[in-house]
C-alpha cells in the first residue's frame, strides 16, 4: 500500500499491481497506475503494458482454476476502474471523428474493447464505448443517430462469429465501415478475412487502420460460398435436440453424471451447447482449426476441474453419429476426436 | 418522379434483371450443330446479279491478282472507295487488306466484314452494315448498367441513415458512374449551406471532403437549383463551379457539368452538381439517369432528416425515463445493471434509484411496473417523480411506500390506466464502524438477498402487496444490518423469470440466482450487478426477455474515502461546424 511501486516501468510495477487485483483493492491498483503516469509513463503504455497483460494473467488464472469466476469478475472490475482513472488522468482533447466501440451481443469480456477505446481516445478520436454485450438493434439505432467514422467491434469467442457477421453487415448497411478485433477472429485474423472485414491484432494497429479510410472501405468480399451446403443452418436448428441426446448419452455411459447436482447439470448442458455452437461457427467460416482449438481448450479447462478428457471424446462421438449426413461437420468432429485421443493418451503432469 | 425515373426504375418485381442472370438466353450454349452447307444446286439458272443486289450484305469479289471483279450495289454504297476493275488495295481501306478483318467504322457506320476464299484463288468479301444492331445492343447494355446502378443506389440509400452519412453516400455513389466530380449542396439553414464532394481517384474509392458555406456565396446556378429549377445556361455552370474552386483538377475548357435539384418534402433538399473532366456531354439518357439518381438521393436525405428530428425527440424523452444512477453516499458502494426488453428502445418498466436524505442516509428503491415498453417506461417516470417529491416529507420506508401507493392510485384512477408496480423501498444509514443499517419496505416485490462476509447468502423475508392497486395495502418491513464488505442485492423478476436453458423455456429461477451469487461476497457491488446481468443473459441465449434491473449496496467499511473516478465519457454534441470552401 505504500509508495514502493513508483518506478517508472510498467513491467516492474506488474507484480505489485497483480497483487492488488488479487485482493480486489481498487485504490491500490489505481495508485500504481497513476503513480506510473505521474512519473512520466505515457498513458498508452500504462494501458497496454500494465493493464492488458495483467488482465490476460487474470484470464489464465481462471482457466487454471486457481481463481474462481467471482475473483475473475472482481479483478476485471478493478481493471475497469484503473482504465477509467488512466483515461481521466490523460483527458485527451478529441480532434478527429467519432469511433463507436462495442462488444458483440452476448460478449461480456469488455475490457479488451475498452482498452482499444481508450487508446483511440488518446490518439485524438472522439470515442463512444457502448460497453459489453451490445444488442445489434441498439448499435444500429446508435449509428443512425450519431455520425460515426467507423465502428470497432470486439469478439472474444469464435463461437459468436455468425452473430458477429450479422452485426458487421448491419453496420455496413448503415454505410459505416467496420474494423474488428479480439481472439474470436483467430490469432491471425483469418476468420475476419473469411467474413471480408478489416481486422486489427491490437489497439495501435486498429488506430492506424482507422486513420486510413480507403483501406477500411476497400475490403474484399466475404468468402462464404460453402454455406450453400446448409450444414450451418441445419445444425443450429438441431441444437436443442443434439444437446438433449448428448446428455442422455452421457447419463447412460458415465455413471457419475446421474448424481450431478442441478448446478453441475447446468454447466454440463452449457458445455454440450458450446460444443455445438463452436462446431456451427467452424462450419460458418469453414475452418476445422476453429473447432479443434476450441476442443483443446475445453479439454484443458475440464481437466483442470477434474473432468476427464474422455468425456469430451464421448460427446464428440455421439455428435458424429447424430450428424452422419453432415459431411463437413463429420470431418471436423473426426479431426477433433483424434486431437482428444492424443490429449488423453498424453502422460499426466 | 419524372417519366425518366420510372423508365429507369426497377419495377420491384424482378423483371429488370441485372446483366448476367440471364433467364432467357438468346443464344443457348448447346444449340444443335447445323449440317455443313451443300453446294447450291440452284435449278432454274438465276440471274445472280439480280439476286445479289438484294442481299443485306454487300459483295466484293476479287480475282487472283486482287483486282475487283464484282461489286454489288450495297458494297458500292458502304465502301464507295472500291471501284470495279481496279486493285482492291488501291481503295485505301485498311480493313479490306487485313487478314482477319472483323468490324470497323467507316464513314460513321459500323461495318462487319468477312472474307471467304473462292475457287481459282479468287476471294470474296461480305460487308454488312451493323450500325443499328450494335447501337441497339449498346443501348441495351447501357440501360442494364443504368438499372444496375440505380438498384445499387436504392440499396445503399435505402436505410434511414444519419443525414451526414446519407449525404456522404450520395456523392460517393455518384462517382464515377454519373460524374468525375460530384458536389452535393444541402438547402441552407440559417444562412449556411453544408456541402459534400467526391472526386474520382485513380483507384476505386473516390476522395471525399465536406464543409460549410455562407448561403450568399453560392454560385447562381446552385441557387437556381435550390429554387427547384434546373439551370439551362450550361456552359455557365462549369465556369461558375470552376471559378468557385469546386472542381479540383477540372479544366473549364474541356469539362461539362450539370446541376440537378434533389426533390425534398416541399422545396428541394439540396442540389447535386455533377461534372465530367473529359468533356463528354451529358445527353438525354445521362440526364435521365442523373435525375433518377437525384430523386433517390433526395428521398434518402429527406428520410434521414425526418428520422433525425424524430430520434432527437425520442432521445430526449428516453433520457428522462432512463434510471438515474444512485447518488454517491457515504459508506455505500452502489452497483447497478439495467437491460430493457426492447434493446432498440433502451427504456422499460424496471426502475431503480436513490435520493440522499439530509441526515446522511439515502432512500433507495428498485421495482417493476406492469407492462413493457414505452407505456411502462412512462409510468416508471411518474412513479420516480412521485418518490422524488414524497421523500422530502416522509423518510420512513413503510409510510413512504403507503404515500406512494395513494398517489399512484389517484393517478391511475384518474387516467383509467390500471397500472401497478412491485417494488422494494429502503433507507440506508451508515455507522461509524463502516457498517450499514437498511430498513426496507416491500410492495409485492421479490425478496432481496444479502451476501454475508461468511459467504452465506440470506434471503431477506420481505412481503407486501402490489403498489397502486388498493388503498391501504399491507406492506412488509424489515431491518437488515450489513457489516463492512457485506452486500444487499435487489433485482427484478426479469432475472428469475428469464426463460432459457436447454429448450429455451425453463425459468432461471431463484435457485440458480442463489448459486450464481454464492462465493461472490468479496466482489465490488458494480461487479456483482454486472455478473447477475451476465449470467441472466447467458441463460437467455439470444431469446426474448423481460426488463432486467439489479441494484446492489455494499458496505464499503471505514477505509479511505472513495476517490471520485470518471467513467468513460458519453457521446457529446456534434463537432463545431467549420466554415470552409470546397
**A349: pLDDT strictly greater than 70:** no
Res A219: pLDDT: 79
- Examine the domain organization and report whether B212 and B249 are in the same domain: yes
The stretch A291-311 carries a mean pLDDT of 88
Q: Model confidence over B65-106: pLDDT tens digits? A: 889 988 888 888 888 888 888 888 888 888 888 777 788 888
- Examine the domain organization and report whether A153 and A261 are in the same domain: no
B chain contacts of residue A128, beta-carbon cutoff 8 Å? 570-571
Q: Model confidence over B396-443: pLDDT tens digits? A: 999 999 999 998 888 777 776 678 899 999 999 999 999 999 999 999
Lowest mean pLDDT among A35-49, A286-300, B85-99, B430-444: B85-99
Residue B414, in any domain of the structure: yes
- Examine the domain organization and report whether A326 and A280 are in the same domain: yes
Q: Model confidence over A159-171: pLDDT tens digits? A: 999 999 999 998 8
* CATH number of the domain that residue A293 is part of: 1.10.490.20
Res B427: pLDDT: 96
With CA atoms as reference, the chain B residue closest to A94 would be B575
* Partner-chain residue, chosen from A68, A133, A144, that has the shortest CB–CB distance to B161: A144
Report how far residue B381's alpha carbon sits from residue B250's, in angstroms, rounded to the nearest whole number: 59
* Partner-chain residue, chosen from A135, A244, A266, that has the shortest CB–CB distance to B512: A266
Question: Strand, helix or coil at A226?
Answer: helix
CB contact under 8 A, B503 and A73: no
- Examine the domain organization and report whether A148 and A173 are in the same domain: yes
- Examine the domain organization and report whether B85 and B181 are in the same domain: no
How many Cα neighbours within 13 Å face the side chain of A2?
1
Please count the other Cβ atoms lying within 10 Å of the Cβ belonging to residue B223. Answer: 17
pTM given for the model: 0.76
Q: Does B169 touch chain A (CB under 8 A)?
A: yes
Report how far residue A339's alpha carbon sits from residue A305's, in angstroms, rounded to the nearest whole number: 19
Angle, CA A275 vertex, CA A273 and CA A281 arms, to 5°: 100
The range of the structural domain enclosing residue A215 comes to: 93-223
What domain count does chain B have? 3
pLDDT band at A276 (very low <50, low <70, confident <90, very high): very high
* CATH number of the domain that residue A66 is part of: 1.10.1240.10
- What ipTM was assigned to the predicted interfaces of this complex? 0.84
**A347: pLDDT strictly greater than 70:** no
Res B566: pLDDT: 36
- Examine the domain organization and report whether B272 and B201 are in the same domain: yes
* Partner-chain residue, chosen from B205, B502, B523, that has the shortest CB–CB distance to A243: B502
Q: Final residue of a domain: which of A66, A91, A116?
A: A91
Residue B44, CA distances (Å) to B37, B41, B47, B54, B72 in order: 19, 9, 9, 18, 22
Contact B359, B429 (CB under 8 A): yes
Q: What is the 3-state secondary structure (H, E, C) of A94-153?
A: CCCCEEEEEECCCCCCCHHHHHHHHHHHHCCCEEEEEECCCCHHHHHHHHHHCCCCEEEE
Comparing B367 with B250, which gets the higher pLDDT?
Answer: B367
With 0-12 / 13-18 / 19 or more C-beta atoms within 10 angstroms meaning exposed / middle / buried, residue A259 is exposed
- Examine the domain organization and report whether A182 and A151 are in the same domain: yes
- Examine the domain organization and report whether A236 and A199 are in the same domain: no
* CATH number of the domain that residue B229 is part of: 3.30.450.40
**B329: pLDDT strictly greater than 50:** yes
What domain count does chain A have? 3
Q: Model confidence over B501-510: pLDDT tens digits? A: 777 788 999 9
Please, which residues have CB within 8 angstroms of residue B281's CB and are 6 or more apart in sequence?
B256
**A43: pLDDT strictly greater than 90:** yes
With CA atoms as reference, the chain A residue closest to B165 would be A147
B chain contacts of residue A78, beta-carbon cutoff 8 Å? 524
- Examine the domain organization and report whether A79 and A110 are in the same domain: no
Q: Model confidence over B443-476: pLDDT tens digits? A: 999 999 999 999 999 999 998 999 988 888 999 9
- Examine the domain organization and report whether A267 and A333 are in the same domain: yes
- Examine the domain organization and report whether B428 and B375 are in the same domain: yes
pLDDT band at B519 (very low <50, low <70, confident <90, very high): confident
**B268: pLDDT strictly greater than 80:** yes
The stretch B355-368 carries a mean pLDDT of 93
**B9: pLDDT strictly greater than 80:** no
In whole numbers, what is the pLDDT of chain B averaged over residues? 83
Q: Does B43 touch chain A (CB under 8 A)?
A: no
Question: Strand, helix or coil at B477?
Answer: strand
CA distance B457 to chain A (A): 14
Q: Final residue of a domain: which of A187, A205, A223?
A: A223
Res B44: pLDDT: 60
Res B46: pLDDT: 60
CA distance B311 to chain A (A): 7
B183: nearest Cα among B170, B166, B192? B170
Total residues belonging to chain B: 582
Q: Model confidence over B377-394: pLDDT tens digits? A: 888 988 999 999 999 999
- Examine the domain organization and report whether B124 and B272 are in the same domain: no
- Examine the domain organization and report whether A160 and A211 are in the same domain: yes
Residue B152, in any domain of the structure: yes
Give the torsion through C-alpha atoms of B73, B75, B76, B79, to 10 deg: 160
Residue B544, in any domain of the structure: yes
- Examine the domain organization and report whether B122 and B160 are in the same domain: no
Report how far residue A56's alpha carbon sits from residue A62's, in angstroms, rounded to the nearest whole number: 10
- Examine the domain organization and report whether A15 and A110 are in the same domain: no
CB contact under 8 A, B572 and A126: yes
Query: For strand B123-129 and strand B270-276, is the pairing parallel, antiparallel, or unpaired?
Result: unpaired
B chain contacts of residue A129, beta-carbon cutoff 8 Å? 568
- Examine the domain organization and report whether B269 and B329 are in the same domain: no
**A257: pLDDT strictly greater than 90:** no
- Examine the domain organization and report whether A47 and A98 are in the same domain: no
Residue B137, in any domain of the structure: no
Res B286: pLDDT: 87
- Examine the domain organization and report whether A85 and A115 are in the same domain: no
* Partner-chain residue, chosen from B527, B568, B572, that has the shortest CB–CB distance to A73: B527
Contact B537, A110 (CB under 8 A): no
DSSP for residue A49: I
Residue B579, in any domain of the structure: no
Q: Model confidence over B551-567: pLDDT tens digits? A: 999 998 765 444 433 33
* Partner-chain residue, chosen from B502, B527, B563, that has the shortest CB–CB distance to A244: B502
CB contact under 8 A, A263 and B160: no
**A10: pLDDT strictly greater than 60:** yes
CA distance B236 to chain A (A): 34
Helix and strand numbers (H, E) in chain B are 14, 22
- Examine the domain organization and report whether B456 and B328 are in the same domain: yes
Res A221: pLDDT: 83
Q: With pLDDT > 70 as the criterion, what percentage of chain A qualifies?
A: 96
With CA atoms as reference, the chain A residue closest to B504 would be A240
Q: With pLDDT > 90 as the criterion, what percentage of chain A qualifies?
A: 64
Q: Final residue of a domain: which of B129, B150, B173?
A: B129
Res B357: pLDDT: 92
* Partner-chain residue, chosen from B343, B501, B559, that has the shortest CB–CB distance to A137: B343
Res B378: pLDDT: 87
Which residues of B, range 214-233, sit inside 8 Å of A by Cβ? none
The stretch B258-281 carries a mean pLDDT of 87
Q: Model confidence over B146-200: pLDDT tens digits? A: 889 998 888 888 776 788 889 999 999 998 888 889 999 999 988 899 999 999 8
Residue B462, in any domain of the structure: yes
Q: Exposure string (b/e) for A53-91, b if CB count within 10 Å is 16 or more?
A: ebbebbbebbeeeebeebbbbbbbbbbbbbbbbbbebbe
Residue B222, in any domain of the structure: yes
Q: Model confidence over A116-145: pLDDT tens digits? A: 999 999 999 999 999 888 888 889 888 888
Phi, psi of B107 (to 5 degrees): 50, 40
CB contact under 8 A, A269 and B502: yes
pLDDT band at B574 (very low <50, low <70, confident <90, very high): very low
* CATH number of the domain that residue B89 is part of: 3.30.450.20
**B13: pLDDT strictly greater than 70:** no
Res B401: pLDDT: 94
Q: Model confidence over B101-139: pLDDT tens digits? A: 788 888 888 899 888 888 888 989 899 998 888 888 888
Angle, CA B502 vertex, CA B496 and CA B505 arms, to 5°: 50
- Examine the domain organization and report whether A240 and A175 are in the same domain: no
Angle, CA B324 vertex, CA A146 and CA B542 arms, to 5°: 65
CB contact under 8 A, A71 and B504: no
* CATH number of the domain that residue B333 is part of: 3.60.40.10
- Examine the domain organization and report whether B343 and B378 are in the same domain: yes
Q: What is the 3-state secondary structure (H, E, C) of B373-410?
A: HHHHHHHHHHHHHHHHHHCCCCCCHHHHHHHHHHHHHH
* Partner-chain residue, chosen from B501, B537, B566, that has the shortest CB–CB distance to A88: B566
B chain contacts of residue A173, beta-carbon cutoff 8 Å? 159
The range of the structural domain enclosing residue B54 comes to: 49-129
Residue B570, in any domain of the structure: no
CB contact under 8 A, A146 and B571: yes
Maximum pairwise Cα distance, chain B: 129
pLDDT band at B240 (very low <50, low <70, confident <90, very high): confident
CB contact under 8 A, A26 and B572: no
Q: Final residue of a domain: which of A91, A116, A137?
A: A91
* CATH number of the domain that residue A101 is part of: 3.40.50.280
A chain contacts of residue B519, beta-carbon cutoff 8 Å? 68-70
- Examine the domain organization and report whether B168 and B250 are in the same domain: yes
Amino acid at each position: 500500500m505504500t509508495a514502493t511501486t513508483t518506478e517508472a516501468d510498467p513491467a516492474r510495477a506488474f507484480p505489485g499491481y497483480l497483487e492488488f487485483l488479487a485482493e480486489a483493492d481498487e485504490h491500490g491498483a489505481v495508485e500504481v497506475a497513476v503513480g506510473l503516469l505521474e512519473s512520466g509513463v505515457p498513458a498508452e503504455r500504462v494501458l497496454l503494458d500494465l493493464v492488458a497483460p495483467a488482465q490476460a494473467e487474470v484470464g489464465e488464472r481462471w482457466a487454471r482454476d486457481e481463481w474462481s469466476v467471482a475473483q475473475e469478475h472482481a479483478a476485471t472490475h478493478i481493471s475497469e476502474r484503473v482504465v477509467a482513472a488512466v483515461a481521466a488522468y490523460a483527458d485527451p482533447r478529441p480532434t478527429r471523428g467519432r469511433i463507436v466501440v462495442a462488444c458483440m451481443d452476448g460478449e461480456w469480456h469488455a475490457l479488451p474493447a475498452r482498452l482499444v477505446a481508450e487508446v483511440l481516445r488518446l490518439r485524438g478520436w472522439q470515442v463512444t464505448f457502448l460497453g459489453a454485450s451490445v444488442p445489434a438493434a441498439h448499435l444500429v439505432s446508435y449509428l443512425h443517430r450519431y455520425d460515426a467514422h467507423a465502428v470497432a467491434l470486439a469478439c472474444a469467442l469464435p463461437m459468436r462469429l455468425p452473430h458477429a457477421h450479422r452485426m458487421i453487415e448491419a453496420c455496413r448497411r448503415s454505410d459505416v465501415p467496420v474494423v474488428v478485433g479480439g481472439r474470436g477472429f483467430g490469432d491471425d485474423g483469418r476468420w475476419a478475412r473469411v467474413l471480408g472485414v478489416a481486422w486489427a491484432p491490437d489497439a495501435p494497429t486498429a488506430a492506424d487502420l482507422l486513420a486510413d479510410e480507403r483501406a477500411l472501405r476497400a475490403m474484399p468480399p466475404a468468402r462464404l460460398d460453402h454455406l450453400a451446403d446448409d450444414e450451418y443452418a441445419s445444425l443450429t436448428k438441431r441444437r436443442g435436440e443434439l444437446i438433449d441426446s448428448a446428455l442422455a448419452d452421457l447419463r447412460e455411459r458415465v455413471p457419475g453424471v446421474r448424481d450431478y447436482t442441478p448446478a453441475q447439470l447446468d454447466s454440463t448442458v452449457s458445455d454440450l451447447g458450446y460444443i455445438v455452437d463452436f462446431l456451427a461457427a467452424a462450419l460458418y467460416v469453414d475452418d476445422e482449426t476453429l473447432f479443434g482449438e476450441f476442443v483443446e481448450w475445453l479439454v484443458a479447462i475440464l481437466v483442470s476441474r477434474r473432468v476427464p478428457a474422455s468425456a469430451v471424446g464421448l460427446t464428440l462421438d455421439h455428435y458424429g453419429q447424430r450428424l452422419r449426413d453432415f459431411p463437413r461437420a463429420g470431418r471436423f468432429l473426426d479431426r477433433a476426436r483424434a486431437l482428444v485421443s492424443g490429449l488423453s493418451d498424453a502422460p499426466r503432469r | 418522379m419524372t417519366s425518366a425515373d420510372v423508365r429507369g426504375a426497377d419495377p420491384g418485381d424482378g423483371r429488370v434483371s441485372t446483366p448476367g442472370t440471364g433467364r432467357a438466353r438468346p443464344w443457348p450454349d448447346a444449340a444443335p450443330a447445323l449440317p455443313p452447307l451443300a453446294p447450291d444446286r440452284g435449278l432454274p439458272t438465276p440471274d445472280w446479279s439480280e439476286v445479289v443486289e438484294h442481299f443485306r450484305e454487300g459483295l466484293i469479289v476479287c480475282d487472283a491478282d486482287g483486282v475487283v471483279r464484282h461489286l454489288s450495289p450495297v458494297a458500292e454504297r458502304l465502301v464507295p472507295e472500291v471501284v470495279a476493275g481496279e486493285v482492291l488495295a488501291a481503295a485505301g481501306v485498311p480493313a479490306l487488306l487485313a487478314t482477319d478483318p472483323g468490324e470497323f467504322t467507316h464513314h460513321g457506320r459500323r461495318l462487319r466484314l468477312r472474307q471467304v476464299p473462292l475457287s481459282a484463288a479468287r476471294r470474296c468479301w461480305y460487308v454488312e452494315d451493323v450500325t443499328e444492331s450494335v447501337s441497339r445492343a449498346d443501348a441495351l447494355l447501357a440501360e442494364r448498367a443504368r438499372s444496375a446502378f440505380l438498384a445499387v443506389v436504392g440499396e445503399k440509400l435505402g436505410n434511414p441513415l444519419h443525414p451526414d452519412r446519407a449525404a456522404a453516400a450520395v456523392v460517393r455513389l455518384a462517382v464515377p458512374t454519373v460524374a468525375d466530380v460530384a458536389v452535393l449542396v444541402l438547402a441552407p439553414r440559417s444562412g449556411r449551406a453544408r456541402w459534400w464532394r467526391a472526386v474520382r481517384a485513380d483507384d476505386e474509392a473516390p476522395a471525399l471532403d465536406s464543409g460549410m458555406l455562407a448561403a450568399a456565396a453560392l454560385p447562381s446556378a446552385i441557387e437556381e437549383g435550390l429554387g427547384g429549377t434546373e439551370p439551362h445556361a450550361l456552359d455557365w455552370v462549369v465556369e461558375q463551379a470552376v471559378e468557385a474552386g469546386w472542381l479540383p483538377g477540372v479544366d473549364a475548357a474541356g469539362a461539362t457539368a450539370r446541376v440537378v435539384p434533389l426533390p425534398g418534402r416541399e422545396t428541394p433538399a439540396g442540389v447535386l452538381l455533377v461534372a465530367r473532366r473529359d468533356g463528354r456531354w451529358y445527353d438525354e439518357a445521362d440526364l435521365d439517369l442523373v435525375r433518377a439518381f437525384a430523386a433517390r438521393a433526395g428521398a434518402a436525405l429527406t428520410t434521414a432528416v425526418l428520422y433525425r428530428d424524430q430520434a432527437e425527440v425520442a432521445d430526449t424523452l428516453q433520457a428522462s425515463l432512463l434510471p438515474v444512477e444512485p447518488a454517491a453516499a457515504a459508506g455505500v458502494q452502489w452497483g447497478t445493471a439495467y437491460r430493457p426488453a426492447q434493446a432498440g428502445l433502451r427504456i422499460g418498466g424496471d426502475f431503480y434509484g436513490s435520493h440522499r436524505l439530509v441526515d446522511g442516509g439515502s432512500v433507495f428503491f428498485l421495482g417493476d411496473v406492469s407492462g413493457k415498453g414505452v407505456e411502462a417506461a412512462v409510468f416508471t417516470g411518474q412513479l420516480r417523480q412521485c418518490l422524488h417529491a414524497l421523500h422530502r416529507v416522509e423518510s420512513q420506508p413503510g409510510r413512504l411506500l403507503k404515500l406512494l401507493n395513494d398517489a399512484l392510485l389517484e393517478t391511475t384512477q384518474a387516467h383509467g390506466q390500471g397500472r401497478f408496480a412491485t417494488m422494494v423501498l429502503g433507507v440506508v444509514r451508515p455507522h461509524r464502524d463502516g457498517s450499514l443499517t437498511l430498513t426496507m419496505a416491500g410492495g409485492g416485490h421479490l425478496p432481496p438477498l444479502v451476501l454475508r462476509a461468511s459467504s452465506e447468502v440470506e434471503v431477506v423475508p420481505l412481503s407486501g402487496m402490489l403498489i397502486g392497486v388498493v388503498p391501504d395495502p399491507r406492506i412488509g418491513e424489515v431491518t437488515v444490518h450489513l457489516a463492512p464488505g457485506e452486500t444487499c442485492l435487489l433485482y427484478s423478476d426479469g432475472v428469475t423469470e428469464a426463460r432459457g436453458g436447454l429448450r429455451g423455456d425453463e425459468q432461471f429461477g431463484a435457485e440458480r440466482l442463489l448459486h450464481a451469487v454464492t462465493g461472490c461476497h468479496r466482489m465490488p457491488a458494480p461487479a456483482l450487478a454486472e455478473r447477475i446481468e451476465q449470467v441472466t443473459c447467458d441463460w437467455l441465449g439470444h431469446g426474448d426477455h423481460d426488463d432486467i434491473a439489479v441494484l446492489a449496496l455494499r458496505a464499503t467499511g471505514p477505509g479511505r474515502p472513495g476517490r471520485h473516478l470518471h467513467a468513460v465519457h458519453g457521446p457529446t454534441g456534434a463537432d463545431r461546424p467549420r466554415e470552409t470552401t470546397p
